[in-house]
Structure 1
Amino acid sequence: MTAPDRPQSTRLAVLVPFGIVTVIWGSTWLVIVGQLGVVPPSWSVAYRFVVAGVAMLAWAAWRGELVRLDARGWAFALALAVGQFVLNFNFVYRAESYITSGLVAVVFALLLVPNAVFARIFLGQRMGVQLLVGSGIAIVGVALLFLHEVRTSPGGTAALMTGLGFTLAGILSASSANILQGTATAKRYPMIGTLGVAMLIGAAIDAAYAWATTGPPVFPASPAYWAGVLYLGIAASAIAFPLYFGVLRIIGPAKAAYSGVLVPVIAMLLSTLFEGYRWSLLAGAGAALAMVGLVVALRARRPNR
């Protein structure tokens, strides 16, 4: 394959931000665990996106990027806020109250399925044979990781099913936001400022829901908690989301979702370093297949519509 024929997804301009996002999001599962049990989940989500939204708008101002949204732009920001920064994260934080962060991360790797289906339905983007093969390999790997995590996951069947239900709801919410970023409407507005507005809208909705369901805000004295909020708000949101959505606009929602296939592998590697995680043959085989599927899929060329 000559350089001009290489698919966009194998170019450094895509692989570098793709790798950065994957490493950052692979670390967030450990950080989110430290946010639970201290503050109601919806307040933690609200704090995260206040930090992220302010950081994004400050970044936009530094770049000289004026945020001027018309009625359509505000509607887009609201839809993005609800799908990505309200529903998705509230579901994920609640899922981790019932099942392990590793299991949530593994199940979230299935984001590539609704992303591919919705991209076909709403964006007219088809999956070629090579991308389908890569997806099949990756899904087998995810299934093996899932079996490993289920076997080691504490709690009963009710907790497992509840946690999986919240995770699947989060996947569908995130996928809807991914598809929004692939539309022509998204490209009409500056990404950094628009994301900042969407994050602050999301934070406001999160706070309203948190206050209505759990009472006034809780401000813990724990430095570790607030360090986690800053990391999740700045690194995992203000930095990672623009990089991820920028990649998505180039290679499409289906391929971009492969970051989620690597995230549980990164999370397991970090857990090995910091939590004494022990790999099994099942987990190792699943991680290897996920990597193979990723390589096959990213080397696939996007078929003509």
Structure 2
Amino acid sequence: MTDDTAEQSLLRPRIVVPFILTGIIWGSTWWVITDQIAGMPPSWSVAIRFAVATPAMFVLAKLMRRNLAIGLSGQLLALAIGITQFCGNFNFVYRAEQHLTSGIVAVMFTMLIVSNAAFGWWLLGQRITRNFVLGTLVALAGISLLLIHEARLSPLGGSIPLGILWAVLGILAASIANVVQANQTGRALPMVSLLAWSMLYGTIADFALAWLTAGPPVLPDRATFWLGIGWLALAGSVVTFPLHYTLVREIGAGRAAYNGIVTVIVAMLLSTLFENYRWNPLTILGALLALAGLVIALRARQTPPPALKQAA
């Protein structure tokens, strides 16, 4: 990224379009996950999802003519991303939804804003600006209102503290993956190639974890399960992760995490249409504050560390 590019507003099409697209797609996935874990061990649901997504990502890399030879350092990075993102993060999320409603888990995951920015500052030297802090505080106020309403509205089963613990662990795992892929080694590699290998390692870990924790798989015969697998694997993984990780490289891990707010708003709008979600003054104010914080943070300028030339 040149100095001139760094000085441009972040509200430009090459940033906004993938930002909104990933938020919309991921907003729908919280819905689908609830069906995925209905009568199915969560680890096997995750493993099957990435067993479908992984070969699709390799095919995408070949279609884009990206070099799949990423070297030893690239393979080690892919292993780290695979374990944290495509095994740890998703297994934690699916387990969290056994104890908390999907809306609450989705709202909690907007905390990626804070953890991504903190890890980005600590590991990559990405500066946290005053406007980013202001935008984050405004957005968190709105998220808190949405979370309060959701907690009052939804009768929660299972262990609420355990659900919160799983969600927090998922947030930390996702943040680590978000930030480490944007280091010097990651920036020098083709994004889809790095993701393909990362998904492969994550899938291997998913199958091992599923077998150890749940025994041999018993595949469901529900059509909704397999349709959900297709959506989560292809749209929710193969389409979105290259876009999202490219955003992390372009605008930093902290700001990229703001698509979590778009995700929450989309998830709540879908609930309004299909789950009879009831809006009230509290939720309207929360949504407006979250969006206002998003705009403030995105309008902030940043001075990222020098980026290496990305391989073709």
With structure 1 as the length reference, what TM-score do the two structures score? 0.95
Distance 1:28 1:123, change over 3 A: same
- Structure-2 separation of matches of 1:116 and 1:304: 12
Residue 19 of structure 2 corresponds to residue 18 of structure 1: yes
Contact 1:8-1:14 at 8 Å conserved across structures = no
Contact 2:27-2:264 at 8 Å conserved across structures = yes
Deviation at 1:172, TM superposition (A): 0.4
- Structure-2 separation of matches of 1:8 and 1:172: 29
Residue 121 of structure 2 corresponds to residue 97 of structure 1: no
Contact 2:132-2:300 at 8 Å conserved across structures = yes
Q: Secondary structure at the match of 1:185?
A: helix
Question: Residue 159 of structure 2 aligns to which amino acid in structure 1?
Answer: A
Distance 1:303 1:72, change over 3 A: closer
1:31-46 matches, cutoff 5 A: 31-46=32-47
- Structure-2 separation of matches of 1:261 and 1:141: 10
Question: Residue 184 of structure 2 aligns to which amino acid in structure 1?
Answer: A
Question: Residue 143 of structure 2 aligns to which amino acid in structure 1?
Answer: V
Contact 1:102-1:268 at 8 Å conserved across structures = yes
Residue 121 of structure 2 corresponds to residue 120 of structure 1: yes
Question: Per-residue CA shift, 1:96-144, capped at 9, x if unaligned?
Answer: 0001000000011111111111111111111111111111100111111
Deviation at 1:304, TM superposition (A): 6.8
Q: Secondary structure at the match of 1:171?
A: helix
Question: Residue 205 of structure 1 aligns to which amino acid in structure 2?
Answer: A
Tell me the matched-pair count.
Answer: 302
- Structure-2 separation of matches of 1:268 and 1:57: 33
- Structure-2 separation of matches of 1:212 and 1:304: 42
Deviation at 1:6, TM superposition (A): 6.0
Unaligned runs of 5+ in 1: none
- Structure-2 separation of matches of 1:304 and 1:18: 18
Distance 1:196 1:303, change over 3 A: closer
Distance 1:4 1:201, change over 3 A: closer
Contact 1:128-1:303 at 8 Å conserved across structures = no
Question: Residue 47 of structure 2 aligns to which amino acid in structure 1?
Answer: A
Contact 1:43-1:206 at 8 Å conserved across structures = yes
- Structure-1 separation of matches of 2:304 and 2:53: 37
Deviation at 1:258, TM superposition (A): 0.4
**Which residue in the other structure is 1:50 paired with?**
51
- Structure-2 separation of matches of 1:167 and 1:153: 17
Unaligned runs of 5+ in 2: 306-312
Contact 1:127-1:303 at 8 Å conserved across structures = no
Distance 1:182 1:8, change over 3 A: farther
- Structure-1 separation of matches of 2:263 and 2:292: 14
Q: Secondary structure at the match of 1:9?
A: coil
Residue 131 of structure 2 corresponds to residue 133 of structure 1: no
62-71 or 195-204: which moved more? Answer: 62-71
- Structure-2 separation of matches of 1:304 and 1:174: 21
Contact 2:117-2:254 at 8 Å conserved across structures = yes
Question: Residue 178 of structure 1 aligns to which amino acid in structure 2?
Answer: N
Percent of pairs identical after alignment?
45
Question: Residue 228 of structure 1 aligns to which amino acid in structure 2?
Answer: G
Contact 1:55-1:234 at 8 Å conserved across structures = yes
Question: Residue 52 of structure 2 aligns to which amino acid in structure 1?
Answer: V
- Structure-1 separation of matches of 2:129 and 2:86: 31
- Structure-1 separation of matches of 2:24 and 2:16: 12
Residue 160 of structure 2 corresponds to residue 160 of structure 1: yes
Q: Secondary structure at the match of 1:110?
A: helix
Contact 1:99-1:154 at 8 Å conserved across structures = no
Q: Secondary structure at the match of 1:301?
A: coil
Question: Per-residue CA shift, 1:148-207, capped at 9, x if unaligned?
Answer: 111122136x72211111111100000000101221111122111220111121111111
- Structure-1 separation of matches of 2:79 and 2:70: 11
Question: Residue 172 of structure 1 aligns to which amino acid in structure 2?
Answer: L
**Which residue in the other structure is 1:287 paired with?**
287
Which aligned runs of 4 or more in structure 1 are off by greater than 4 angstroms?
Answer: 3-6
Deviation at 1:12, TM superposition (A): 0.4
- Structure-2 separation of matches of 1:5 and 1:150: 40
Contact 1:137-1:293 at 8 Å conserved across structures = yes
Deviation at 1:4, TM superposition (A): 7.4
